[in-house]
Amino acid sequence: MIYDNILDTIGNTPVVRLNRIAPDHVDLFVKIEAFNPMASVKDRLALAIINDAERRGVLKPGQTVVEATSGNTGIALAMVCAAKGYPFVATMADSFSVERRQIMRAMGAKVILTPAAERGTGMVKLAAELAEKHGWFLAQQFDNPANPEYHRQTTGPEILRDFANRRLDFWVTGWGTGGTLTGAGEIIKAARPDVKIIATEPAGASLLGGADWQPHKIQGWTPDFIPGVLNREIYDRLIPVEDADGKANARRLAREEGIFVGLSAGATLTAALKVAEDAQPGSTLLVMLPDTGERYLTTYLFDDLNQGSDDEWLAEQA
């Protein structure tokens, strides 16, 4: 297919059956958001916010866009701003992976780091201060209604279309801004109220579960506050996930299914496998996989991979 620009390739991501990981008594599918042009579900959010701001006239030609990000939203906004001609500035806690900073900078963005001790709140505060001081447009992904609205218009309908005339019993997703859970979840629930919506979050920062926020390793999930756009009434069940289980299942996806994803995707799959344990035989589950594994190469997800030659393995083959 021929597209007028890179932004036209956002969305319509594939749903793929898991053939080796899925328990025998269920059908398990994943929606792979890494097929978006900058390899994450946040491409949808970024395009939605910029298009909405243009339509409302609050983003002027050539105006700088600024946003707080754990990485994927910043990368997506860097792409959208580059394609549309807006300078972009990201504020990001210095605990997030170096790859994310460098991808944004490669697309012309500037990255201002905040201390990890200030958590998500710190980078959000700095973005707001910079917008006020310089007259920049603040994207406000955590509170911008354009975020879940775009998922109502795209992600939710895509899922309904792909499962038209097919069984779908559970839809499983994590949350960072809450846009996917809220927007897609509301559309799925309205059209097919029998589908059980499963939300998942880090066990160490189970804010929806009523726990206090604690540092965790699942980048992109659960800032130290509950976003304004998140509909807390939309999910039927909440499943906290341990960091180590998310890591193990992200690695399994790559090793056993050939699907290379980030830690949040592995954590979402972990929740789905817990649901599958007591699901009725023949049940169908769909799992959201938010991003690619390539922006985690220097992180906890791959910290035990050999970086040299596999000589020991080769010697064992003799």
* 42 labelled catalytic: yes
**What span, in angstroms and rounded, lies between the C-alpha atoms of 65 and 141?**
12
Architecture of domain 42-138: 3-Layer(aba) Sandwich (3.40)
How much is the pLDDT for 248? 98
How much is the pLDDT for 260? 98
Predicted confidence (pLDDT) at residue 59 exceeds the cutoff of 90:
yes
Is the fold of 6-35+154-302 the same as that of 42-138? yes
Catalytic annotation, pick one of 42, 189, 217, 247: 42
Confidence label for 117 from pLDDT (cuts 50, 70 and 90): confident
* 264 labelled catalytic: yes
Q: Where are the domains of the chain?
A: 6-35+154-302, 42-138
- pLDDT average, residue stretch 221-244: 95
- pLDDT average, residue stretch 239-266: 97
Q: Output the pTM of the full model.
A: 0.94
Predicted confidence (pLDDT) at residue 241 exceeds the cutoff of 80:
yes
Catalytic annotation, pick one of 97, 206, 264, 283: 264
The class of domain 6-35+154-302 in CATH terms is alpha beta
**What span, in angstroms and rounded, lies between the C-alpha atoms of 33 and 268?**
13
Q: Checking phi first, is residue 7 left (phi over 0); if not, alpha (psi -120 to 50) or beta? A: alpha
Exposed / middle / buried, residue 134 (Cβ in 10 Å: 0-12, 13-18, 19+): exposed
First to last CA, the chain: 48
pLDDT per residue over 179-232, tens digit each?
Answer: 999 999 999 999 999 999 999 999 999 999 999 989 898 988 988 899 999 999
Predicted confidence (pLDDT) at residue 70 exceeds the cutoff of 90:
no
| Summary mean pLDDT of the chain | 96
pLDDT per residue over 3-56, tens digit each?
Answer: 999 999 999 999 999 999 999 999 999 999 999 999 999 999 999 999 999 999
How much is the pLDDT for 177? 93
**What span, in angstroms and rounded, lies between the C-alpha atoms of 296 and 97?**
7
Beta bridge partners of 210: none
